[in-house]
């Protein structure tokens, strides 16, 4: 280490803050610490500009800081030139990993005010710098009037040894308006995927261990499943348990099988799978007191596939039960137009989505009115002799999301059985969605109302991108997926918002009116992977993993702040472990 300064950084008491010389790095760190990401971006833009001006040697770390801050900041992304992000190809894997993990850890620790961890990360960073043959320049950051929490050490590598290595930091002043607050709603800035990887490496393991502990705790030995939340939702839900099974599979835990087996015990003789299996008699969702008369998106086929791929003992009976459930949808819920229909918004799983507003809230949305509407719809539903919902005189709709998940389920069933008819059904549904639901203006798939409804079926909601899971129309797929990441209108720092960030209807904290949902994030991540778009998948993973940690494994969260909402903890948040797994490495 060639330089250590113990001088406290005077951050001033006026409305403006000034940083000079090597303190710019400290300024950047302090902005990150304080969560003022716009200011961090500003500082990093200065670093970037000075790199360009002086043509000083640009180290990997310099560039990573620019990228990291670009990634972290919210507004003003145009001030950061991401083209200056590093090309790490010249470094071998351990070196790269060393840089990235230490840097990630540093940012995460600083943001969490964990100074022990900051110091440990700083030490590792210094070691990583030394490994590359460059001597690190150490800046010690002192306590200040403004930045009360800033008491640790930050290691920062400048542009190499000697004067030319630090020259580019000279005479730079960064101003920050003390009263500046980043805007509440904002899209993600553009980001290069290796920078996201830097963050992911640091948190994937945390997500997996916390998800596992949470799911272990939620496990209900008597029922053989996890309730979504012990207090708010003490029953077994169809798609919730499917996502839980995906999480169990990611841990290689046999409870994936037990949870799905329990799900199938709710199946009726002709194959119908209910949306809820009650643990104690309940009412209000059709004539039966042991289970709901409605269904939910058939995520179970994918869950079986995930369990099989994890080497768990998926039995022939389970695969057959999955096939019967899909047959039931095909035989009883397919409209003349070839699409699958639902007879209550609950069946889509997106209960209060703005896509139901033409039915449920033609004069403006309000949660009480919607709940009343949902109950009224039960009254007018037609049930068969088994108590299974078959039609509704006021609400029938072919949603993009339900059809997409059904088509995907058929494709998964094809993979499980090798039977061609499932692949044919998947293709047929995909074709129908592209022909009947594609909205050229929005670049999304709409829903199609069959009874009631109106323009709300075209409201741009993020689940309108789910047909990307199965479509063969590459143009449609890419247009839809493009909206999920980077500057895309659904991209938030901690996940995708349910409505675009600039939509006047957006309520980022309100149930199905804006928050990010971990189960949808999983499906969208799968869609990006299915498209072979690994950078997009990586960015989705990065945001959702950060989001789930911030939100404390809650039911859903604000995609811009990461503030959790709904039930907490919530079992399906564990599905993020399946997202984290591929990024663990080793």
- Contact (CB, 8 A) for 22 and 173: no
Q: Residue 290, interface with ligand GLC (CB under 6 A)?
A: no
Considering only the stretches 199-207, 235-243, 308-316, 380-388, report the one whose residues sit in contact with ligand GLC under the rule CB under 6 A: 235-243
Q: Which of 547, 551, 543 is nearest to 567 (CA)?
A: 551
Q: Residue 227, interface with ligand GLC (CB under 6 A)?
A: no
Q: Residue 583, interface with ligand GLC (CB under 6 A)?
A: no
Q: Residue 533, interface with ligand GLC (CB under 6 A)?
A: no
Beta bridge partners of 237: 276
In angstroms, what is the minimal distance from the CB of 555 to ligand GLC?
A: 7
Considering only the stretches 197-205, 234-242, 285-293, 445-453, report the one whose residues sit in contact with ligand GLC under the rule CB under 6 A: 234-242
- Contact (CB, 8 A) for 171 and 21: yes
Taking the C-alpha atoms of residue 344 and residue 381, their distance in angstroms, rounded to an integer, is: 8
Q: Residue 233, interface with ligand GLC (CB under 6 A)?
A: yes
Under DSSP, the state recorded for 90 is: G
Give the footprint of ligand GLC on residues 3-22 (CB under 6 A): none
The dihedrals phi and psi of 428, each to the nearest 5 degrees, come to -65, -45
- Contact (CB, 8 A) for 332 and 390: yes
Q: Residue 264, interface with ligand GLC (CB under 6 A)?
A: no
| CB half-sphere exposure, 389, CA atoms < 13 A | 29
Q: Residue 228, interface with ligand GLC (CB under 6 A)?
A: yes
Q: Which of 265, 257, 262 is nearest to 227 (CA)?
A: 262
Considering only the stretches 155-163, 233-241, 323-331, 414-422, report the one whose residues sit in contact with ligand GLC under the rule CB under 6 A: 233-241
Nearer Cβ to ligand GLC (235/489): 235
Nearer Cβ to ligand GLC (199/240): 240
Q: Residue 349, interface with ligand GLC (CB under 6 A)?
A: yes
Site string for ligand GLC, 180-219 (x = CB under 6 A): ----------------------------------------
For Cα atoms 330, 332, 335, give the angle at the middle one, nearest 5 degrees: 75
Nearer Cβ to ligand GLC (22/297): 297
In angstroms, what is the minimal distance from the CB of 241 to ligand GLC?
A: 9
Taking the C-alpha atoms of residue 252 and residue 311, their distance in angstroms, rounded to an integer, is: 8
Under DSSP, the state recorded for 463 is: G
- Cβ-based neighbour number of residue 175 at 10 Å: 11
Q: Tokens at residue 26, please?
A: 């400290």
577 exposure class (CB count in 10 Å sphere: 0-12, 13-18, 19+): buried
CA-to-CA separations, 81 to 13, 65, 84, 192, 235, in angstroms, rounded: 31, 12, 6, 11, 50
Chosen residue from 351, 431, 473, 478 binding ligand GLC by CB under 6 A: 351
Nearer Cβ to ligand GLC (228/460): 228
Q: Residue 86, interface with ligand GLC (CB under 6 A)?
A: no
Give the footprint of ligand GLC on residues 38-77 (CB under 6 A): none
Nearer Cβ to ligand GLC (511/583): 511
List residues near ligand GLC by CB under 6 A. Answer: 228, 233, 237, 239-240, 349, 351
């Amino acid at each position: 280490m060639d330089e250590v300064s113990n001088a406290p950084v005077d951050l001033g008491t006026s409305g403006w803050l000034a940083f000079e010389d090597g303190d710019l790095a400290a300024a950047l760190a302090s902005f990150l610490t304080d969560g003022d990401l716009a200011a961090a971006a500003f500082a990093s833009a200065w670093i970037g500009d000075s790199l360009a001006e002086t043509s000083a040697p640009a180290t990997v770390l310099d560039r990573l800081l620019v990228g990291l801050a670009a990634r972290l900041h919210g507004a003003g992304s145009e001030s950061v030139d991401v083209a200056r992000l590093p090309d790490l190809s010249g470094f071998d894997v351990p070196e790269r990993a060393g840089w990235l993990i230490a840097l990630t850890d540093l940012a995460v620790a600083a943001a969490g005010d964990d100074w022990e961890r900051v110091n440990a990360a700083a030490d590792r960073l210094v070691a990583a710098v030394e490994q590359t043959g460059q001597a690190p320049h150490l800046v010690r950051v002192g306590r200040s009037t403004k930045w009360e929490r800033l008491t640790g050490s930050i290691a920062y590598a400048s542009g190499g040894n000697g004067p030319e290595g630090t020259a580019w930091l000279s005479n730079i002043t960064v101003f920050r308006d003390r009263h500046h607050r980043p805007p509440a709603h904002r899209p993600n800035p553009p980001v290069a995927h290796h920078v996201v990887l830097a963050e992911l490496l640091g948190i994937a393991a945390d997500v997996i261990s916390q998800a596992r502990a949470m799911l272990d705790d939620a496990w209900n030995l008597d029922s053989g499943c996890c309730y979504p939340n012990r207090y708010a939702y003490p029953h077994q839900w169809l798609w919730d348990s499917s996502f839980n099974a995906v999480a169990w599979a990611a841990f290689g835990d046999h409870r994936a099988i037990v949870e799905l087996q329990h799900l199938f015990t709710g199946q009726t003789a002709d194959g119908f799978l209910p949306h809820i299996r009650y643990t104690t008699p309940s009412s209000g969702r059709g004539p039966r007191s042991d289970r709901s008369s409605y269904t939910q998106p058939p995520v179970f086929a994918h869950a079986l596939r995930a369990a099989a791929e994890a080497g768990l003992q998926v039995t022939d009976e389970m695969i057959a039960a999955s096939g019967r459930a899909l047959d039931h949808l095909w035989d009883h819920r397919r409209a003349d137009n070839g699409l699958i229909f639902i007879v209550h918004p609950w069946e889509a799983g997106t209960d209060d989505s703005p896509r139901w507003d033409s039915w449920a809230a033609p004069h403006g949305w309000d949660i009480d009115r919607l709940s009343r509407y949902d109950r009224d719809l039960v009254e007018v539903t037609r049930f068969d002799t088994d108590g299974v919902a078959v039609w509704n005189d006021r609400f029938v709709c072919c949603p993009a999301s339900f059809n997409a998940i059904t088509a995907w389920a058929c494709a998964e069933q094809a993979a499980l059985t090798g039977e061609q008819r499932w692949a044919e059904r998947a293709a047929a549904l995909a074709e129908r969605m592209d022909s009947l639901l594609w909205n050229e203006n929005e670049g999304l798939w709409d829903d199609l109302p069959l009874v009631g409804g109106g323009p709300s079926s075209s409201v741009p909601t993020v689940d309108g991108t789910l047909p990307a899971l199965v479509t063969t129309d590459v143009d449609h797929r890419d247009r839809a997926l493009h909206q999920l990441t980077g500057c895309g209108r659904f991209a938030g720092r901690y996940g995708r918002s349910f409505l675009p960030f600039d939509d006047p209807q957006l309520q980022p904290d309100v149930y199905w009116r804006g928050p990010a949902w971990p189960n949808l994030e999983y499906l969208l991540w799968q869609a990006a992977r299915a498209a072979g778009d690994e950078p997009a998948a990586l960015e989705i993973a990065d945001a959702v993993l950060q989001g789930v940690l911030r939100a404390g494994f809650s039911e859903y969260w604000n995609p811009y702040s990461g503030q959790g909402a709904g039930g907490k903890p919530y079992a399906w948040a564990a599905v993020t472990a399946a997202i984290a797994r591929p990024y663990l490495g080793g």
